Amino acid sequence: MKIIGIDPGSHRVGYAILSFPEGLRRNPTLLGYGTIEVAPKTPSPDNLLQIRRELQAILTEHKPEWAAVEELFFVQNTTTGMKVSESRGVILLTLGENQIPMVSLTATQIKKGISAKGNATKKEVRAAIQMILGFKDLKGHDDSWDAIACAFVGRSLVGSTPSQIH
């Protein structure tokens, strides 16, 4: 099974594609990961169109069967929160257009699922990913690492908690 993990952001969207052996929820292969980068001053809707185009290209290339998307957490900066929610909306729309079912995960669920600690730091999440996938060095931005963790934890939920599947 292939699953895409997505960590929404206003100008940087992390993504990762994991492939799991048939019927298993462990021993994944990382097929690709990175970030969709939008210049901070890019006006709407141009920024959202760029996210949609690049995500569509990733979906077309990898053809995931499921998606795991991080939910938004309430932020004090409402302007940033609104921009991230717009980005997440475009992500959900693009997944829907491609008929890719999804699970929605909170940051706490992802951290706990990857590191056994709901309050894990970015460094601890990265270390857990490296251990699980056997990487010595994980390059890139932490948004892409979060997406790897999201995909890994999302796979564990597929088929086990229908209330979280959308």
Strand 29-37 to strand 66-70: parallel, antiparallel, or no bridges (unpaired)?
Answer: unpaired
Binding residues: 7, 70, 143
| Paired residues of 7 in beta bridges | 14
Indicate if 70 belongs to the active site. yes
The one catalytic residue in 46, 71, 124, 143 is 143
Choose the catalytic residue: 46, 61, 65, 70: 70
Pick out the residues of the known binding site for Mg(2+): 7, 70, 143
Nearest in space to 108 (alpha carbons), one of 160, 158, 73: 73
Question: Which segments of the chain are extended strands (E)?
Answer: 2-7, 12-19, 29-37, 66-70, 102-105
For residues 136 and 96, what is the distance between their CA atoms, to the nearest angstrom? Answer: 35
Q: Is 37 considered catalytic here?
A: no
Torsion of CA 73, 74, 79, 80, to 10 degrees: -30
146 is catalytic: no
Closest CA to 129 of 153, 105, 100, 97: 153
Q: Which residues are the active-site residues?
A: 7, 70, 143
